[in-house]
Amino acid sequence: MNVVPIGNQSGGKAVRAPKVPAPAHLSPASKKWWAEVNAEYSLEPHHLRLLQAACESWERMQAARAAIAQHGLTFTDSQGNPKARPEVAIERDAKVGFARLLRELDLDGEPAPDARRPPSIRSNRD
Residue 95 lies in a domain: yes
Q: Judge whether 126 lies within some domain.
A: no
Residue 115 lies in a domain: no
pLDDT tens digits for range 40-64? 998 899 999 999 999 999 999 999 9
| 74 lies in some domain | yes
Domain presence at residue 75: yes
pLDDT at 112 over 60: no
Number of domains the chain contains: 1
Range of the domain at 79: 46-107
User: Is 93 inside any structural domain?
Assistant: yes
Distance CA 48, CA 124 (A): 43
**Do the domain assignments include residue 60?**
yes
pTM: 0.72
